[in-house]
Amino acid sequence: MYLQSLRLHDFRSYHQVLLTPPRGVTVFVGENGTGKTNLLEAVHLCCLGRSHRTGNDREMIRSGQETCAVQLRVQRSDGVDEVGVRLFMPEQKKRKVIYINGKTASRTGELMGHATCVMFSPEDLDIIRGAPQERRRFLNMLLSQCGAGYYYALQTYNSALKQRNALLHSIVRGEAKPVTLDVWDEQLAQAAVPVVKARQFAAQALDKLARDYYANIGGREDEVFSLRYVGHLADTTEPASVFLNLLHERREEDLRRITTTAGPHRDDLTLNLSGADMRAFASQGQARTAVLALRLSEVDLLTSRQGEAPLLLLDDVLSELDSGRRTRLLACIGGIQTLLTCTDMSDLTGAKPDAVLRVHDGTITTEETT
Ligand SMILES: Nc1ncnc2c1ncn2[C@@H]1O[C@H](COP(=O)(O)OP(=O)(O)OP(=O)(O)O)[C@@H](O)[C@H]1O
Ligand SMILES: [Mg+2]
């Protein structure tokens, strides 16, 4: 996949920007706070319909403006696609409008699969050390880009969960009878099936791929990385019936706690290094290597799913790596169009950028590459 152009209008610190990156590696270099990550975030927004770092869309609208827009033009093996996202301040009637090849899309899910990206960012360490929701988000983003089917399945599951939780409230307040839960238990159990099956598939594939990447990048034979999907339904081939039984068994407890206590919304991944849980025991370097291994595995999964590589967005990651890991990472991503940020060109020792762009506050200028 080749990003031909990126257009921004009133996005974060930028008024108007048009970038036409080359096919290889483009470096954005600039001091802290000059707007480098903003550029990668814009690409992420067009690929997934949301930022990688905030759930609050309005933060992306340039201060003092009512609306912002981002547009990508990508060349895929099957043709050229233009996708765009426009965001509005809450006072406006609309919140978010998605454009695909000049037409307005009715659902955000329609964006999935047109332009795909894998973002490497400093916040990724949360996948290793953070709460289970960080690892669920990682899986959800990956699987949504593999196909809108997962994105819609997750929406259906979440809305069934919301309805069931609302009903638990009504029952506790005496406004509904416990028997009315039956219908929502059934809906929730059915809605869980595609979510669980996709996560089972992804976890299995990631375990294998990431194990090899960890060994390559880490460069130590005694460190073996492994990943496992854990959750109430993680190991079953019959998620619907197992979940239904579980919901019945836990009904009393769910009513006592006024929430659905079991299900894929509680799923997690355990990440192990030579048998020890990385969340508690990983060193900083080991955690970073695990993150790179997971992201590179994500690249492979997307590549095999769509028949071509996604765009790579490397935010500030090279400066964190020692030179051996940096060289091995760059070797792994060779040949894929990459947008990379750094504060200092010395972070790039070993890389051969095709374009270097200097980012000042709100402006971008081209530097000579040697
Ligand atoms: N909605 C907004 N409107 C105007 N400016 C914004 C908005 N959101 C963020 N900014 C500005 O963008 C800048 C931060 O941009 P960004 O996160 O891309 O920096 P960076 O170059 O990646 O920095 P670092 O090297 O520290 O990661 C800050 O100066 C911030 O004030
Ligand atoms: Mg940044």
Say which CATH number the domain at 281 has: 1.20.1050.90
The pLDDT of residue 218 is 82
Let me know whether 23 and 100 are in one domain: yes
Ligand 1 binding pocket includes 35 (Cβ within 6 Å) = yes
Q: Find all residues with CB under 8 Å of 134, minimum gap 6, and list them.
A: 126, 127
Does ligand 1 come within 6 angstroms of the Cβ of 316? yes
Atom from ligand 1 closest to the CA of residue 361: 29
Could you read off the pLDDT of 269-285 as tens digits, one per residue? 999 999 999 999 999 88
Structure tokens at 13: 């610190």
Mean pLDDT, rounded, for 204-222? 91
Show which of 307, 327, 360 is a domain's final residue.
307
User: What separation in Å is there between the alpha carbon of 28 and the centre of ligand 1?
Assistant: 14
Cβ-based neighbour number of residue 342 at 10 Å: 22
In this structure, the answer to whether residues 89 and 2 fall within a common structural domain is yes
Packing angle, helices 132-146 and 284-306, rounded to 10: 20
- What is the Cβ-side half-sphere exposure of residue 323, based on CA atoms within 13 angstroms? 3
What is the model's pLDDT at position 101? 95
121 Cβ inside 6 Å of ligand 1: no
The pLDDT of residue 43: 98
Judge whether residue 335 has pLDDT over 90: no
State if residue 38 touches ligand 1 by the CB under 6 angstroms criterion: yes
pLDDT digits (tens, 9 = 90+) for 8-52: 999 999 999 999 999 999 999 999 999 999 999 999 999 999 999
Residue having the nearest C-alpha atom to atom 7 of ligand 1: 12
Cα of 367 from ligand 2 centre, angstroms: 19
Q: Whose CA is nearest to atom 11 of ligand 1?
A: 13
Q: 100 and 158 share a domain?
A: no
Write the CB contacts of 109 (distance below 8 Å, at least 6 apart in sequence): 49, 144, 148, 151, 152, 155
Per residue in 136-149, pLDDT tens? 999 999 999 998 99
Distance from C-alpha of 121 to C-alpha of 128, rounded to nearest angstrom: 13
Task: Compute the distance from residue 235 Cα to the ligand 1 centre, in Å.
Answer: 43
Mean pLDDT (the chain) is: 94
Which residue has its alpha carbon closest to ligand 1 atom 15?
Answer: 35
Q: Is 63 near ligand 1, meaning CB less than 6 Å away?
A: yes
For the CA of 35, the nearest atom of ligand 1: 18
Place of tokens 């969960």: 161
- Tell me the mean pLDDT in the region 177-185: 95
Q: What is the per-residue pLDDT for 331?
A: 84
30 plus 96 within the same structural domain: yes
The residue whose CB lies within 8 Å of the most ligand 1 atoms, and thus the one to mutate among 8, 34, 65, 87, is 34
At residue 325, does pLDDT exceed 90?
no
Is residue 140 located within the same domain as residue 280? Answer: yes
Query: Is residue 185 located within the same domain as residue 259?
Result: yes
- Å from CA of 48 to ligand 2 middle: 19
Of the two residues 350 and 291, the one the predictor is more confident about is: 291
Nearest ligand for residue 359 CA: 1
Instruction: Report the range of poorest mean pLDDT among 47-56, 108-117, 350-359.
Output: 350-359
Q: Assess whether 47 and 192 both reside in one domain.
A: no
125 has pLDDT over 90: yes
CA angle in degrees (0–180, nearest 5) for 192-195-201? 135
Flag whether pLDDT at 340 surpasses 70: yes
pLDDT at 362: 82
Distance of alpha carbon 245 from alpha carbon 108, whole angstroms: 34
pTM, two decimal places: 0.93
The pLDDT > 90 percentage for the chain reads 84
363: domain CATH number?
3.40.50.300
- Residue 204 clears pLDDT 60, i.e. is over it: yes
Nearest ligand 1 atom to the CA of 13 is 5
Number of Cα atoms under 13 Å in the Cβ half of residue 174: 0
Q: Which ligand is nearest to the CA of 39?
A: 1
Say if residue 72 is in the same domain as residue 162: no
* Separation between Cα atoms, residue 274 and residue 43, nearest integer Å: 36
Tokens of 211: 């194990």
DSSP assigned state of 344: -
Q: Structural domain of residue 350, as residue ranges?
A: 1-116+310-370
**Is the per-residue pLDDT at 370 higher than 70?**
no
Determine the pLDDT at residue 334: 84
**CA 52 to centroid of ligand 2, rounded, Å:** 12
Burial 212-221 (b: 16+ CB within 10 A, else e): ebbbbbbeee
| pLDDT score of 324 more than 90 | no
CA proximity to 114, closest of 72, 86, 156: 72
Do both 236 and 300 map to the same domain? yes
User: Which ligand ends up closest to the CA of 36?
Assistant: 1
CA distance 215 to 243: 37
Query: Same domain, yes or no, for 204 and 288?
Result: yes
Provide the pLDDT for residue 119.
96
| Sheet (strand 225-230) strand order | 225-230, 268-273, 276-277
Q: Atom 24 (ligand 1): residue with closest C-alpha?
A: 32
Atom index in ligand 1 nearest the CA of residue 343 equals 25
| Number of structural domains in the chain | 2
Judge if 111 and 137 occupy the same domain: no
Given a cut of 70, whether residue 369 has pLDDT beyond it is no
- pLDDT-based confidence at residue 354 (cuts at 50, 70, 90): very high
Closest atom of ligand 1 relative to the 60 alpha carbon: 1
Q: Roughly how many angstroms between the first and final C-alpha of the chain, as a whole number?
A: 26
Which helix (H) or strand (E) segment holds residue 173: the answer is none
**Residue 74 pLDDT more than 80?**
yes
Q: Indicate the pairing of strand 355-360 with strand 363-367.
A: antiparallel
